[in-house]
Amino acid sequence: MRHVDAAYNLSLWLLRDPHDAEDATQSALFKAFRAFGRMRSTDAKPWLLAIVRNECMDLLHSRSVRTRSEHPTDDVLDFAEATELDPEGAAIQSLDAEAVLGAINQLPPEFREVIILREIEELSYREIAGVINKPVGTVMSRLARARTRLQLMLTSTGECV
Amino acid sequence: MNCETALQLIDAFMDSELDPSTSLEVSTHISACPACKQALESRQALSKAIKLAAAFAPAPAALRGQIRHKIQPRPHFRYGIAAFGMAAVVAACFGFATWKKNSDLRRDQDQVISDVMAHYQASESSAHIVDIRSKECGSLKNWFNSKVNWSPKVYRLFSQPFTMVGGRVDLVGNQAAPVIVYRSGNSNVDVFVTPSVDVKPRNVDAQGLHVRSWSDSGHDYYAVSNGSPAEINAVQSALKVCR
Ligand SMILES: [Zn+2]
C-alpha cells in the first residue's frame, strides 16, 4: 500500500482537508485504473503521483474561495528573494514541527508540491518534472524559491513573505 | 565559481542533482566560502526539519485505513465500478504479478472453508483420495510444481502416527490448489495450500468435519479431517516445511 499512502499524503498536503484528500485519492485511483493500459513508465509511484497531483490541482483551481491566488512565475530564480537571506540570521533557530508544518501549509500549492515531492517522497528532479509536467529547470527554481520562503518564514518572527 | 552561481546551484548540489564536475566546483567554492557554507547548512537544516515535521504531521493513519477500506472491492463503492476495477487499480500500484496471484484468491475465507470441506467429502466418497501416491515430499513437490502455476512448499509430517499418502489438485476459489493427503489412524487429513491472503487462524467443526486454517511463510493452509479434533490439532502441529 506504499504508493496509495504516498498518493493520499500528497493529496492531504495539497488540499489540506482529509475529506477532500480522500475524494481526490479515490478519484485518482479510479483514473489510474482507466489509464493503466496506457501506462508507459515502469515506475508506478511518480506515475500515480502525477495523476493524484493533477486531480488535486484541478480541485484547488475549481475551489471558489482560495486563500491565495498567487501563481509563481517560472522564469529564472528570483535572486532578490534569495539574497534577502542574511547568512547570519539564516540559521533556523526554532525547528519545532508545528512551525515547519505551518510554514509548508502557507506556501502556494505550486511551491508546496515540489517541497513534498522532494523532501517527503524523495523523488528526483526528473521524476518531479514528470509529476508536475514542467521542465526540470522549473522544478529546480521552484524548489529553491520554496525553500527560501520556508527559511524566511521560519527565521523571521511572524513575518511572512 | 562566484557566490551568486554557487547559491544558484546550492539546492541542486544538496539534492545530488548536479553533474560531477559542476558538483565539484560548487563543493570547492563552498569549502572556501563561509557565507555559502552557511547557506548550505541552512538548507540542510531545513530539509531535515521538513522530514522530521512530516513524521509528526497529523497522522493520517486512520484515514489511510479508511482509504484502504474503500479501495477494497465493495459493491456500493461510490463510483459503482466493479470490484475487479479497483482490484486492478491496487494492482497497478503494487505490482501486477502480486495482484495476478492474489486477486483471484481474495475471496472470503468462509467460501474457501466450505470449498475444502466439499472437496474433502467428495474425495472420501469417491475413494479417489489422491492423484499421485507418494511418501516422499520432494517428488510430491515436483509434481505439484508441474500442476499449479505457483510454487507451494510441500509440508510433510514427521511424527510417527501420521504418514503421507500423496497429493492431488483441487480448485479452490478459481485457483488450482495443491492438496497433500496424510493418513492418521482411520482417517485421512487433507491439507490444502493456497498463496497467502493472510488468513486469520480459524477452526471450524461442522458436518462431522474439522477444519483448521492458518497462514505461514507466504501460504495459507486449510487442514480438513473427519477424525477427532485432537487428531487434527496434532497433525497441524506436526507439519514442517519440506525444502
Ligand atoms: Zn560563496
CB burial class (10 A; 0-12, 13-18, 19+) of residue A116? Answer: buried
pLDDT digits (tens, 9 = 90+) for B76-126: 334 444 444 555 555 555 554 444 434 444 446 777 888 898 889 888 887
Paired residues of B192 in beta bridges: B179, B222
Asked if B49 and A144 come within 8 Å (Cβ–Cβ), the reply is no
Rounded-to-integer distance, Cα A103 and Cα A93, Å: 14
Question: Is pLDDT of A93 > 80?
Answer: no
Q: Compute, in angstroms, the gap from residue B12 CA to the centroid of ligand 1.
A: 15
CB burial class (10 A; 0-12, 13-18, 19+) of residue A129? Answer: buried
Q: Within a 10 A sphere around the Cβ of A4, how many other Cβ atoms?
A: 21
User: What domains does chain A contain, in order, with CATH numbers?
Assistant: 1-69 (1.10.1740.10), 80-161 (1.10.10.10)
- pLDDT at position A2 is 61
Q: pLDDT-derived band of residue B159, with 50, 70 and 90 as boundaries?
A: low
Q: Which three cell numbers stand for residue A46?
A: 511518480
What 3-state class would DSSP assign to B162? Answer: strand
Mean pLDDT of the B33-58 span: 85
**Mean pLDDT, chain A, integer:** 76
Rounded-to-integer distance, Cα B175 and Cα B170, Å: 8
Q: pLDDT-derived band of residue A125, with 50, 70 and 90 as boundaries?
A: very high
What 3-state class would DSSP assign to B199? Answer: coil
Asked if B49 and A5 come within 8 Å (Cβ–Cβ), the reply is no
Name which residue leads in pLDDT, B7 or B92: B7
Rounded-to-integer distance, Cα A91 and Cα B41, Å: 8
Rounded-to-integer distance, Cα A58 and Cα A11, Å: 12
Q: pLDDT-derived band of residue A104, with 50, 70 and 90 as boundaries?
A: very high
Residue B106's φ and ψ, nearest 5 degrees, are -75, 75
Residues 74-103 of B with CB under 8 A from A: 78-79, 81, 85-86, 88-90, 92-95
Q: How many CA atoms lie within 13 A of B88 on its CB side?
A: 13
| DSSP per position, A44-66 | HHHHHHHHHHHHHHHHHHH-SS-
- pLDDT at position B94 is 52
- pLDDT at position B19 is 92
Rounded-to-integer distance, Cα A116 and Cα B62, Å: 21
Q: Which three cell numbers stand for residue B159?
A: 511424527
Q: Which three cell numbers stand for residue A80?
A: 532578490
Q: Which residue of B has its CA nearest to A99?
A: B53
User: What domains does chain B contain, in order, with CATH numbers?
Assistant: 3-53 (no CATH), 104-241 (3.30.200.100)
Q: Using CB atoms, which residue from B34, B52, B66 is nearest to A97?
A: B52
Q: What is the residue whose three cell numbers read 485519492?
A: A25
What 3-state class would DSSP assign to B86? Answer: helix
pLDDT digits (tens, 9 = 90+) for B193-222: 888 777 777 888 888 899 998 887 778 889
Question: Is pLDDT of B152 > 70?
Answer: yes
pTM, 2 dp: 0.50
